[in-house]
Amino acid sequence: MRAIGDIQDRAAAEEFQDILCAQGIAAEIEREQEGWLIWVKSDDDCPRAAELLGWYRENPKDPRFRNARDQAQAERALASEEQANYERRVHQIRKSFASLKGYGFGPLTYALIFISAVIFVMTRFGSEFESVGSLWFSKYVSLGPLWARVLNAPELRQGELWRLLTPIFIHMGVLHIFFNMLWLVDLGSMIESRQSSFLLARLVLLLGVISNMVQYTVTGHGAFGGMSGVVYGLIGYMWMRGKYDPTCGLQLHPQTVITSMLWFFVCFVPGAVGPVANGAHAGGLVFGMIWGWLAARFRS
């Protein structure tokens, strides 16, 4: 904001302010000892405003200034209407995203964590797995063609279909279960709060089955476990759903997405973090992203 000069009379100063407004120049007047100082808000408008001030001082009754007050009132009314429209849009957006923080601890999320914790204790904190042998995807190693590995798993052929899901509850160590449950608390509770527990149940069921099937198909080894395939599926779902349907209430901070993707690729580096079910990660992530994109598309 810059001062361009002063006018002695208040009425004249207000009239000149209207003249500037009619020309699209934002200005204010300020009382000083010798009159009223004219302040122009934008430096780019100062040359034009100073030129108008010179003309006004020479001839305040110039016909070009005759309708300035009416034009200024119209400009102010338009600006007021635009501001009101903007505030309404902001209010609608805030209402759509209301209470994104402070969601409660979802009951299904709690149940999933409880089951995982019980099984973790049964395995003596991820060191002995004989007691949960019936929860592995399979106790056999399949060396057949990729497309047939799941179909040929002996336990599944015998009707033990729960094995398609139950590996998600088996964890191999304290850090393994800690970080998986930490992610599950945030992601699961947000979905339960913003969408429904029924949706989370469907997501966990399908993401768990898909990620486990992909892992067994890729490696042929059935002794794997962890909630990370589901977690990556929830990340993919919320990422795509929030991106393409911003009013759904599911939002991931960009830093969260970047961190999870960096860890996803680090896990593929041989020897970087030890044995990792990368097939489950990839299967869950891709399926979750597809589900989130389709959900947003049909919602739109």
Q: Is residue 102 part of a domain?
A: no
- Give the pLDDT of residue 91: 60
For residue 130, is it within any domain? Answer: yes
What's the CA gap between 218 and 280, in Å, rounded?
9
92 has a pLDDT exceeding 70: no
Mean pLDDT value across the chain: 88
Same-domain pairing of 80 and 128: no
Domain with 62 in it: 2-96
Please provide the DSSP assignment of the chain as one string: -EEEEEES-HHHHHHHHHHHHHTT--EEEEEETTEEEEEES-GGGHHHHHHHHHHHHH-TT-GGGTTHHHHHHHHHHHHHHHHHHHHHHHHHHHHHTTT-SS----HHHHHHHHHHHHHHHHTTTTT--GGGGGGSS-SSB--S-GGGTTTT-HHHHTT-GGGGTGGGG--SSHHHHHHHHHHHHHHHHHHHHHT-HHHHHHHHHHHHHHHHHHHHHHH-B-----SHHHHHHHHHHHHHHHHH-GGGS----HHHHHHHHHHHHHTTSTTSSSS--HHHHHHHHHHHHHHHHHHHHHH-
CATH number of the domain within which 31 lies: 3.30.70.2350
Q: Are residues 195 and 145 in the same domain?
A: yes
Q: Quote the pTM value.
A: 0.66
Same structural domain, 167 and 239: yes
Tell me how many domains the chain contains.
2
User: Is 17 a member of any domain?
Assistant: yes
Instruction: Give the confidence band of 90 by pLDDT, cuts at 50, 70, 90.
Output: low
Cβ partners under 8 Å of residue 103, min gap 6: 189, 190, 192, 193, 194
For residues 65 and 202, membership in a common domain is answered with no
pLDDT for residue 98 is more than 50: no
Query: Is the confidence at residue 184, as pLDDT, over 90?
Result: yes
Q: Are residues 148 and 235 in the same domain?
A: yes
